[in-house]
């Protein structure tokens, strides 16, 4: 198993309950990502694109693609989306409408809690780097300032910030000052 660019955090591993095989290989640009959450013996520190390109070159002619496995991954992803849609019920429409409103090169910023972990980080499809911005920490309140910052840094792009009323209150004083 090869893990690329994932810190194998609690969110991604069902609170660290997922068991990985002994021969797992982890690839990450950050050297301290190794052993952060799981004991990983085979660690490659490097840029994901560069490392994977070298792997592909090394495998040229000997790689064997298991189409059944690929199909199983596609099915598992669709099953997860369906289950999430059932769980969210009408709230899934938030993601659908936001996706329609945000151009493909737009930037989606979230505060944490519901806007982050319930719909924002799970159902909303984002296909490119730097378009999916949210805090990895536990403090609410960063969403509004981050969305404003992302917008100032990308004046030609549409930015949507999704923030709960509680998280918004942490920036309300700054909004009053700006006004």
121, 143 contact by CB (below 8 A): no
Question: Can you list the alpha helix ranges (DSSP code H) found in the chain?
Answer: 48-59, 67-88, 92-101, 142-153, 165-169, 172-178
Q: Which residues make beta-bridge pairs with 4?
A: 27
User: Strands of 25-28's sheet, edge to edge?
Assistant: 2-4, 25-28, 42-45
Residue 140 within binding range of ligand TPP, rule CB under 6 A: yes
Residue 42 sits at φ, ψ, to 5 deg, of -105, 100
Residue 3 vs 133, nearer CB to ligand TPP: 133
Closest approach of Cβ 143 to ligand TPP, in Å? 8
Interface region with ligand TPP, contact rule CB under 6 A, candidates 14-22, 75-83, 108-116, 154-162: 108-116
109 near ligand TPP, rule: CB under 6 A? no
Is residue 109 a contact partner of residue 161, using CB atoms and an 8 Å limit? yes
Q: Is 103 in the site for ligand TPP (CB under 6 A)?
A: no
> Which range in 37-45, 122-130, 135-143, 148-156 contacts ligand TPP by CB under 6 A?
135-143
d(CA 12, CA 38): 12
Q: Which CB atom, from 89 or from 165, has the smaller least distance to ligand TPP?
A: 165
Residue choice 48, 79, 83, 139 for contact with ligand TPP (CB under 6 A): 139
Among 7-15, 32-40, 81-89, 165-173, the segment contacting ligand TPP (CB under 6 A): 165-173
Residue ranges binding ligand TPP (CB under 6 A): 111, 113-115, 138-141, 164-167
């Amino acid at each position: 198993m090869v893990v690329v660019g994932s810190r194998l955090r609690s969110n991604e591993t069902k609170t660290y309950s997922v068991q990985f095989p002994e021969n797992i290989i982890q690839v990450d640009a950050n050297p301290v990502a190794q052993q952060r959450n799981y004991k990983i013996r085979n660690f490659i520190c490097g840029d994901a694109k560069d490392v994977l390109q070298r792997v592909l070159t090394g495998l040229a002619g000997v790689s064997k693609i298991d189409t059944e496995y690929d199909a199983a991954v596609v099915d598992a992803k669709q099953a997860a989306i369906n289950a999430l849609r059932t769980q969210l019920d009408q709230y899934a429409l938030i993601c659908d409408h936001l996706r329609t409103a945000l151009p493909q090169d737009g930037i989606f910023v979230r505060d944490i809690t519901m806007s982050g972990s319930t719909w924002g980080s799970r159902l909303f499809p984002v296909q490119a780097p730097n378009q999916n911005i949210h805090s990895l920490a536990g403090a609410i309140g960063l969403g509004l300032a981050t969305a404003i910052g992302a917008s100032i840094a990308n004046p030609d792009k549409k930015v949507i910030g999704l923030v709960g009323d509680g998280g918004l209150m942490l920036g309300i004083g700054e909004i009053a000052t700006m006004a």
